[in-house]
């Protein structure tokens, strides 16, 4: 007589799908793997981290070393949400994390934090090696197609080289980015899928972007000569002042770049959200450029009033005001050589005042596809405290696809990494997993 054997319970691995292989998605994967979950990461591109790699060509500004209170002010109205992310991965903790991957960092003269090698590729290679060794399953060339009308939120559809793929999982983390640099994967194609499910989404707009001046010189734009000769030229040692009536005036020294149609660069990106919004309200925005920062109006006027003697006008401007190159060319957009000579002779203090407050009218935001990042996205009100979409149980969000923005300088990347940890902790809580 045969006796029945006791049934042995079979443990089924808890599966989580992450869609998007940028910093937010990869950091989410790392935390979930540490919690013992089975993680599959899907990305539409042939390889992950493409936008991250391109950002690293300029040195990979990971984060910033300033005190956390000042750090948080860079996120504007989203600071309360971002502060919760940073509790899970502070700027210093991000540096420690990179160090554990064998990537040493240093603080630059501006307080920005960079890898010693000034590249993103070594960090990404080391990170992917560790993630694979921890069990991460990567699925490249899998473009998310959303859900069918009757499907559960955790049943996903992808277009892959082998055809349509349907995936059932226990939880989903969307880390699909915004809509900038679409050729690298962040194309905003996810918006209709979430909109159709009733998820509130703020319109995606350019952030950390350039701006156009008017189309012709008479309206305040560039002359054909200036546009052709100085496109790509850096405007160094300049101070930008902008008053929009929405909070304290923006006033900061730095540098930016002249483009064929306007301006872009780090100093412009720092004020971009306010300039963009002002153009949206009024159709234009005027910034004031201090072309001789570090000199008082009186001191500059006195220097300009000194006799030129045998010096040419360009040489006198260089010696008296430090104005040369692209700055001098900018003056010539408004004044002829004879007019400049008259101003210097008749009213050097007034000319100094113009150098200290040179108006530049901006009339359009550059296209979102050119921007470094985007604002807008899934509104925070659409999420619960675990970063789960209220209308889609089991679906979480991380990274730039959420409705926040930050200037370059390490703030954008730092928050993207930290958002991945926050989303992962939400998944762990939702699934009731031991950590």
Three-state secondary-structure class, residue 243: coil
Instruction: Output the 3-class SS for 284-330.
Output: CEEEEEECCCCCCHHHHHHHHHCCCCCCCHHHHHHHHHCCCCHHHHH
H or E element in which residue 365 lies: strand 364-365
Burial of 139-173, coded b for 16+ CB within 10 Å and e otherwise, reads beebbbebbeeeeebbebbbeeeeeebebebbbbb
Quote the CA–CA distance of 87 and 213 in Å, as a whole number: 41
Question: Which parts of the chain have pLDDT scores under 50?
Answer: 1-12
Q: Specify whether the CB–CB gap between 277 and 244 falls below 8 A.
A: yes
Which pTM does this prediction carry?
0.89
pLDDT at 10: 37
In the CATH scheme, what is the code of domain 15-206+374-431?
Answer: 3.50.50.60
pLDDT at 7: 41
Q: Specify whether the CB–CB gap between 178 and 186 falls below 8 A.
A: yes
| 254: β partners | 238
Q: Specify whether the CB–CB gap between 165 and 155 falls below 8 A.
A: no
pLDDT at 54: 86
pLDDT at 314: 84
What is the bridge-based pairing of β-strands 137-139 and 112-115? Answer: unpaired
Three-state secondary-structure class, residue 121: helix
**In terms of residues, how long is the chain?**
435
Quote the CA–CA distance of 51 and 63 in Å, as a whole number: 16
Burial of 246-271, coded b for 16+ CB within 10 Å and e otherwise, reads eeeebeeebebbbbebbbbbbbbbbb
Q: Specify whether the CB–CB gap between 358 and 282 falls below 8 A.
A: no
**Residue 302: closest CA among 259, 234, 244, 353:** 353
Domain ranges of the chain: 15-206+374-431, 211-365
**Residue 367: closest CA among 185, 207, 183:** 207
72-85 per-position pLDDT tens digit: 999 999 999 999 99
DSSP secondary-structure letter at 358? E
DSSP secondary-structure letter at 339? H
């Amino acid at each position: 007589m045969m006796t029945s054997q006791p049934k042995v319970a079979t443990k089924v691995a808890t599966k989580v799908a992450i869609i998007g292989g940028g910093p937010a998605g990869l950091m989410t994967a790392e935390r979930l793997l540490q919690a013992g979950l089975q993680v599959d990461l899907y990305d539409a591109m042939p390889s992950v981290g493409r936008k991250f790699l391109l950002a690293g060509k300029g040195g990979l500004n990971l984060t910033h070393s300033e005190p956390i209170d000042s750090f948080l002010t860079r996120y504007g109205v989203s600071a309360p949400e971002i502060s919760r992310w940073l509790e899970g991965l502070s700027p210093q903790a991000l540096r420690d994390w990179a160090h554990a991957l064998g990537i040493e960092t240093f603080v630059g003269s501006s307080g920005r934090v960079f890898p010693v090698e000034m590249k993103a590729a070594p960090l990404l290679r080391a990170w992917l090696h560790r993630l694979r060794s921890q069990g991460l399953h990567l699925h490249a060339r899998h473009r998310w197609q959303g859900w069918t009308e009757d499907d559960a939120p955790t049943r996903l559809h992808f277009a892959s080289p082998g055809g349509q793929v349907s995936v059932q999982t226990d939880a989903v983390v969307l880390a699909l980015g915004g809509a900038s640099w679409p050729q690298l994967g962040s194309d905003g194609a996810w918006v209709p899928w979430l909109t159709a499910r009733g998820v509130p989404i703020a319109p995606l707009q350019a952030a950390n972007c350039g701006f156009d001046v008017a189309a012709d010189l008479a309206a305040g734009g560039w002359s054909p000569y200036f546009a052709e000769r100085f496109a790509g030229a850096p405007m160094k040692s300049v101070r930008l002042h902008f008053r929009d009536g929405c909070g304290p005036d923006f006033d900061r020294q730095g540098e930016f770049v002249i483009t064929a149609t306007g301006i872009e660069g780090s100093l412009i990106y720092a004020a971009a959200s306010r300039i963009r919004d002002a153009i949206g309200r009024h159709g234009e925005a005027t910034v004031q450029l201090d072309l001789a920062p570090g000199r008082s109006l009186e001191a500059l006027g006195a220097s300009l009033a000194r006799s030129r003697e045998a010096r040419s006008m360009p040489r006198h401007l260089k010696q008296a005001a430090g104005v040369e190159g692209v700055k001098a060319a900018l003056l010539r957009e408004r004044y002829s050589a004879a007019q400049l000579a008259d101003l210097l002779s008749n009213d050097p203090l007034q000319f100094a005042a113009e150098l200290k407050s040179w108006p530049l009218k901006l009339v359009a935001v550059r296209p979102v596809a050119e921007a470094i990042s985007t604002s807008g996205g899934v509104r925070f009100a659409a999420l619960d405290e675990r970063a789960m979409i209220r209308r889609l149980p089991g679906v979480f969000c991380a990274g730039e696809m959420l409705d926040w923005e930050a200037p370059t300088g390490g703030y954008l990347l730092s928050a993207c990494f930290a958002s991945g940890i926050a989303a992962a902790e939400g998944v762990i809580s939702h699934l009731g997993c031991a950590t």
